[in-house]
Structure 1
Amino acid sequence: MAVDVVLIVVAGTFAVVSGMNDGGALLATGLKLPSVRPATGILTLVVLVAFVPLVSHKVALAFVTRLGSFDGPGGKQAMAIAVVAALTVVTVLSNRGRPTSLTLAIVGGLTGAGLGWGLPVSWGYVALVLTVGLFSPLVGGVAAWFVTRLLLALTSSRGLRHWHVAGFALQCVAYAANDGQKMLAVFMIALGFSGAAAPYTLLVAGLFGVGALYGLPKAGRTLSREIIASRPLHGVAAELASGATVTACAALGVPVSMTQSIAGGLIGAGVTTGGGRVRWYAAVKIVVAWLLTLPASALLAGLAAFLIKGAST
C-alpha cells in the first residue's frame, strides 16, 4: 500500500514537471507570432493530451511493456525509482544551465531500474529507442530546411500566421500521441490500469497544464532565444518539421523527444537562412546534456534499484 501511495505521488509530480519542461518548449517556437496566444496554446495542449490517448496510446504501452516488464511483480517499485532518477537528473542538469529531454531521462531511468531490480529488459527495443532518439533531431533539422525553403517560396509574412496555426496544431497532436504519453505510462503502473480511460487521461492532462503554466517563461526562453536568433519563419518551420517527425515515430510506437525534434528543427531552419543565426555554443551545450541524460539516469536508477531491492530482501 505504501508503494502505491508513493508511486501515485511520484506520478503526479512527474506529470507536473513534464508540463514545466515540455509545455514551454512546445509554445516557444511561435512566441513571436500572435496567431496562438500562450493561454490558447496551453489549453490546446491540455485538451489534446487528454483526448489523443483515447484514440491511440501505443507509446504509453511501449514505456510500460516494451522497455521492460513494469506491469509485473516489482514493477511499481522499479517504476517509482526510474521516475525519481529521471527527475533528479533533469533537475540537476537544468540547474546547471543544461536543459535536456525528460523523455530521454525516463527511458534511461526505466532501463536502469529494470536492470537493478532484476526485471527483463528488451535490449533490442532500447537500442531502437536510442537510434530513433539520435536521428530525430537530424531528421527534424533536415525537414525544417526543406520546409523553410518551401515557406519562403509560397507564403508572405501575413500568410505565415496560418501556417503557424497548422504547425502548432500538428506539433501538439504529435506530442500527445508520442512522448506526452510517458506521463500516462507512469499512472498506468501507479493505478494498475492498462487502457486509457478518460478519467485517467484528464488527470494527466490537468497536472500537465499546471506545470506548463508555471514553466512557460523559462522553458520557452531556452529554445526560442538561446539556440538561434529566431524569426517567425524559423519557429513555424520547426513546428511543422518536428510535428511531422514525431507523428511518424508515434505511428511506429517508438518514444521520441519532442524537445529534441524542435531543437533540431530550429537549427535546420536557421541554417537555411544563414548559419550565423544559429548560436552553436548553446546548441552544443544542449547536445551534451542530451548525451549525459540517458546514461546518468540509467546509472542512478540501476544503482538505487539494486540497493533498495537488496535492503528489502
Structure 2
Amino acid sequence: MVVIVVAALFAVVSGMNDGGSLLATGLKLPNVRPAVGLLILVVLVAVVPLATNQVALTFVTRLATFSGPGGRSAMTIAVICALAVVTVLNARGRPTSLTLAVVGGVTGAGIGWGLPVSYGWVSLVLAIGLIAPFVGGLAAWAANRMLLLVTDGPGLSRWHWGGFLLQCVAYAANDAQKMLAVFMIALGFTGAPIGVTSMVAVLFGLGALYGLPRAGRTLSREIIVSRPLHGVAAELGSGLAVIASALVGMPVSMTQAIAGGLVGAGVSQGGGRVRWYAAVKIVVAWLLTLPASALSAAVIARLVQGASP
C-alpha cells in the first residue's frame, strides 16, 4: 500500500515539476490557453504510452533489477529520495530534472539494497541526458533563425501549435514514462493498461495545475528576456531532442531540454538576451540533483535492508 501511495505522490510532483515547464514556453502567445494546453498534455500522457513504453521499461528493467526480493522497497526508497531532492529545489523556485533525480535514486537504492545495477546503462542514460540540453539548444537556435525567415506574427501562432504538440508528444513518449515505471513496480505489471495511464495522467494534471505559476515563471522569464519567437523555437528544439531520445528508449529530462532550448533561442539573437546567472543557478540545481538523490537513496536503502529480518 505504501508503494502505491508513493507512486501516486510521485505523479503529482512530476506534474508540479514538469507541467509548468512544458506550458511556460508559450505563455506569451494567447492561442494555446493554459487550460487547453494542460488538457492536451494530460490526454497525451494517457494515450501515447499505449503505442510505446520503451522508456518506462528502461527505468524498470535496464538500470537495475527490481523484480527480486526487496525490489519494491528499494524502488520506494528511490522515489522518496528523488521527491525529497526535487521538492526542496522546487521550493526555492529552481525546477530541476526529476528524471535525473529518479536515475540517481534508482542507482543509489539498487546499490544500497544489493540489487543488480547496470552501470553501463546508467552511464549511457546520463550521457544522453547530458547531451540533450545542448541538442535542444542547437535545434532551438536553428529553429529561431528559420522562423525569422519564414514566418510573421500570425504565422507564428501556427508554428506555436505545431511546436507545442510536438513537445507534448515527446514528453508523453519519454519523460512522462518515469511515472508509469513507478506504477509498474508498485502494481507488478508490464505494458501500459489504459486504466493505469489515465490515472497517472490525472494525477500529473493535478500537480501541473499547482506547479505552473512557479516553474512557468522561472523558465519563461528568468532564463532569457523571452519573446514569443523564443518560446516557439524552444518548443521545437526541445521536442525534437526529447522525441529522438524516446525512439531509442533513452529517458531524458524535458525540463533540461526546454531550458537548453530557451538558451539556444536567446543566443541566436545575441547572448545578451540570456540571463546567465539564472541559467547557472538551474545548472547547479541539476548538478546537485543526481548525487544528492543517489547518496541519500543508497544510505537509506542500506539501513532499511540491514534492519529487515
The TM-score bracket by the shorter chain reads: over 0.9
One-letter identity of the residue aligned with 2:70: G
The yes-or-no answer on 1:195 pairing with 2:184 is no
CA distance in 2, matches of 1:12, 1:91: 15
Verify: 1:172 aligned to 2:168, yes or no: yes
Aligned residue identity for 2:137: G
The Cα of 1:70 is off from its aligned counterpart by 1.4
What amino acid is aligned across from residue 181 of structure 2 in structure 1? A
Partners in 2 of 1:25 and 1:95 — Cα distance?
15
What's the CA shift string for 1:5-60, capped at 9, x where partnerless? 00000000000000111000000000000111000001001000000000000000
Deviation at 1:218, TM superposition (A): 1.0
CA apart distance, 1:274: 1.5
Structure 2 gap ranges (5+): none
Whole-Å Cα distance in 2 between the matches of residues 92 and 208 of structure 1? Answer: 19
What is the deviation of 1:97? 4.0
Q: What does residue 84 of structure 1 align with?
A: 80
Report the equivalent of 1:289.
285
Q: Does 1:147 align with 2:151?
A: no
Question: Residue 256 of structure 1 is aligned with which of 252, 267, 292?
Answer: 252
1:64 matches 2:60: yes
Moved more, 123-132 or 69-78: 69-78
In the alignment, the residues of structure 2 paired with residue 217 and residue 71 of structure 1 have an alpha-carbon distance, to the nearest angstrom, of 39
Query: Please, which of 113, 124, 128 is the counterpart of residue 109 of structure 2?
Result: 113
Q: What does residue 70 of structure 2 align with?
A: 74
Counterpart Cα distance in 1 of 2:246 and 2:305: 34
- Counterpart position of 1:11: 7
Counterpart contact for 2:70–2:113, Cα < 8 Å: yes
Please state if 1:271 is matched with 2:267: yes
Provide the rounded CA distance (Å) in 1 between the counterparts of 2:91 and 2:42.
26
Alpha-carbon contact 2:17-2:211 (below 8 Å) kept: yes
1:49 matched residue in structure 2? 45
Aligned residue for 1:221, secondary structure, equals helix
| Shift, 1:74, TM fit | 1.2
Give, as a single letter, the amino acid of the residue that structure 2 aligns with 1:165: W
Partner of 1:101: 97
Q: 1:275: Cα distance to partner? A: 1.0
Gaps of 5+ in 1: none
Tell me which of 226, 231, 241 is aligned to 1:235.
231
Q: What is the deviation of 1:213?
A: 1.0
Matched, 1:216 2:208: no
Distance 1:251 1:176 in 2: 12
Q: Shift of residue 219 of structure 1?
A: 1.1
How many pairs are equivalent?
Answer: 309
The CA deviation string for residues 149-190 of structure 1, in whole angstroms up to 9 with x for no partner, is 000000001100000000000000000000100000000011
The CA RMSD over aligned residues, in Å, is 0.7
Q: 1:306 aligns to what?
A: 302
Deviation at 1:91, TM superposition (A): 1.4
CA contact (8 A) 2:145 2:268 kept: yes
**Cα distance, 1:71 vs. partner?**
2.4
The separation in 2 between residues aligned to 1:6 and 1:196, in whole angstroms, is 21
**TM-score, L = length of structure 1:** 0.98
Superposed CA offset, 1:176-233 (max 9, x none)? 0001000000000111111101001011001001111111111111100010010000
Report what 1:31 is aligned to.
27
CA distance in 1: counterparts of 2:172 and 2:192, whole angstroms: 13
What secondary structure is seen at the aligned counterpart in 1 of 2:154?
Answer: coil
Matched, 1:160 2:156: yes
The DSSP-based 3-state class of the residue aligned with 1:158 is helix
- Decide which of 117, 120, 124 is 1:128's aligned counterpart: 124
Distance in structure 1 (CA, Å) of the matches to 2:89 and 2:98 = 11
Q: Is the 8 A contact 2:93 2:218 kept in 1?
A: no
Deviations 1:68-110 (A, max 9, x none): 0012221100010000000111112223343211110011000
Cα distance in 2 for partners of 1:108, 1:235 equals: 30
Kindly provide the amino acid, as one letter, of the partner of residue 177 in structure 2. Q
Distance in 1, matches of 2:186 and 2:210, equals 25
In structure 1, the partner of 2:181 is 185
Q: Distance in 2 between matches of 1:94 and 1:9?
A: 21
Deviations 1:234-281 (A, max 9, x none): 000000010010000000000000000000000000001121110000
